A and B are shown apart, each in its own frame.
Chain A
Amino acid sequence: MSVSIWGVGTSHFGKQPGETLVGLASRAVHEALADAGVDEVDAVFVGTVFGAPGVAPRVLHALGVTRVPIVSIENACASGTSAYHEAHSAVALGRYERVLALGFEQMTALFDGAIHPEASDAEGRMGMALPSLYAMSAARYLEVFGTRREQLALVSVKNRRHAAGNPRAQYRKPCSLEEVLASRMIADPLTLLQCCPIADGAAAAVLGPARGRPGEVRVRASSHRSGALWDHRSPHVWGFEIARDTARAAYEGAGIGPEDLDVLELHDAFTIGEIVTSEALGLAQEGRGGELLESGHTTLGGRQPVNPSGGLLSRGHPLGATGLAQLAEIVWQLRGAAGARQVEGARLGLVETMGGGVSGIDGNACVVTVLER
């Protein structure tokens, strides 16, 4: 069955300690339901990482969503897109008709800086915070490919410029290359402004069979997998292979190649993530992501804008909400409703989210989906 996204919605993204999860989710869900033109849904898939036991039905009953199956999914940074992927599968298989995918996270209640490494994980127990994992990818990448620190930092400059047009982003003020490089070192060579900020937020989408109504965005393909073993045998930096392989499956399912895409939202939790992922998705050869960025190819106004929303680096990263916020951005882009950050004439878009934190594999989960107007 051909599946469409009927509607999307998000809360504001940012540090909102005065907000409740119900308040954040309410904005996302009610906007998505109104956008889809439905009052009820038949099932809900929820993505959240740090949510307390029972958090999904606790939030949903307060929004009037009761007496339907609710399934919660934890897949690190890809939790929201994993919920979306399951919603898509459920509709495609004819299991349910109107399915809500919802992601939320309230991170300011838990952390005032980097997420604490997980003590039950071998590397987490050793003090391996996520910035250091990406920092080691960056250090290796810079050494092997001769990429410059300025090229890494340019990711933040570009995405911050994009975010100026996104009223729901946490950081909308432009920043200069000098500011990015001079900001506090977090884990060498990644400085503060090359790391996404924590945030509170929620995002949602309603999926159903394609009805051919205006505003619907068709799902051409959705692909999801966990990482392969990542060890001394891999010549690639952490996270490259899972994104490459998940994207290949999505391209095959959609019958397209990377050159066909008009706009992309991809996982830029750290600057190096956008560079490596742009290569894994096939926009550039391995080692050439920095040049692609410098050429303006991925900037608004370029051939294939990446992260027109400002990305995780500007919007902030409430883990469970992120994937569905990326999805909402691509839906708005394909409808021509993205305002100041609109990619002119965008017809075909892609969302990629990847989550990590388990040592020994090159990612807990990656989701890639291709959407079409």
Chain B
Amino acid sequence: MSGVGFDPRPRVVEESGVARLLGSRCTACGHVLAFQAPRCPLCRGPLAEARFGPDGSVWSATVVRVAVPGREPPYGLAYVDLDAGPRVLAHYRPAGDRALRVGARVRLRGCTPQGDPAVEERR
């Protein structure tokens, strides 16, 4: 709705051809999150930058088929639990017009042209 300067989306970095999520880990309690934040939202401990992925499992997924401003349906959305990392929302290209199945193994592949973190299924 509102025009926003700050981009609140999770950040993905590419290192040696491997896409990784740039998140945080609490140095006090070990909680991991997909974002940068001033403090750990669990224990208010200090956070250190941490990289996660690229591999993970689909917690759940859907294909959005309604018009959303700035995006062309259909597009896939999945909650992905990165291995030893946080749950993160990611885009994917639906294969055969079907949603990714729960539990599917996926890999971060950088960002979509709109700048959304994206995954693809590992086969």
Contacts and interface: CB of A to CB of B under 8 A. Distances in A.
A359 B90 CA distance: 13
B10 A122 contact: yes
B60 A139 contact: yes
A119 B1 contact: yes
Chain A, interface SS category: loop
A121 B78 CA distance: 17
Contact of A122 (B3, B8, B66): B8
A126 B116 contact: yes
A188 interface: yes
A129 B64 contact: yes
A231 B87 contact: yes
Candidate in A118, A137, A188 with the most chain B CB atoms within 10 angstroms: A188
Nearest to A112: B67
Contacts of B10: 122
A132 interface: yes
B87 A232 contact: yes
Contacts of A128: 77, 89
A252 B71 CA distance: 46
A140 interface: yes
Contacts of B77: 126-128, 132, 136
A120 B68 contact: no
Given A126-B77, A232-B87, A187 B62 contact: yes
Contacts of B8: 120-122, 125
B41 A229 contact: yes
A140 B59 contact: yes
Nearest to B94: A188
A272 to B, nearest CB: 11
Contacts of B59: 136, 140, 232
A126 B9 contact: yes
A209 interface: no
Nearest to B103: A143
B69 interface: yes
A22 interface: no
B101 A143 contact: yes
B66 A127 contact: no
Interface in A128-154: 128-129, 131-132, 135-137, 139-140, 143-144
B64 A132 contact: yes
Contact of A136 (B32, B61, B69, B70): B61
A116 B42 contact: no
B71 A127 contact: yes
Contacts of A114: 66-68
A122 B35 contact: yes
B95 interface: no
Given A139-B102, A140-B59, A125 B65 contact: no
Candidate in A120, A139, A189 with the most chain B CB atoms within 10 angstroms: A139
Nearest to B117: A126
Given A127-B77, A232-B81, A186 B101 contact: no
B86 interface: yes
Interface string A350-363: 00000000011000
A188 B33 contact: no
Contacts of B6: 120
Contacts of A132: 62, 64, 77
Given A127-B114, A140-B59, 7 more contacts: A119-B4, A126-B9, A143-B103, A186-B66, A188-B65, A231-B33, A359-B89
11 contacts: A118-B2, A119-B2, A120-B4, A123-B89, A127-B77, A128-B89, A135-B62, A139-B62, A143-B102, A186-B66, A187-B62
Interface of A: 113-114, 116-123, 125-129, 131-132, 135-137, 139-140, 143-144, 184-189, 229, 231-232, 237, 359-360
Interface of B: 1-4, 6-10, 32-33, 35, 41-42, 59-71, 75, 77-79, 81, 85-87, 89, 91, 98-99, 101-103, 114, 116-117
Q: Which 6 A/B pairs are nearest by Cβ-Cβ distance?
A: A140-B60, A135-B62, A136-B60, A143-B102, A232-B87, A122-B8
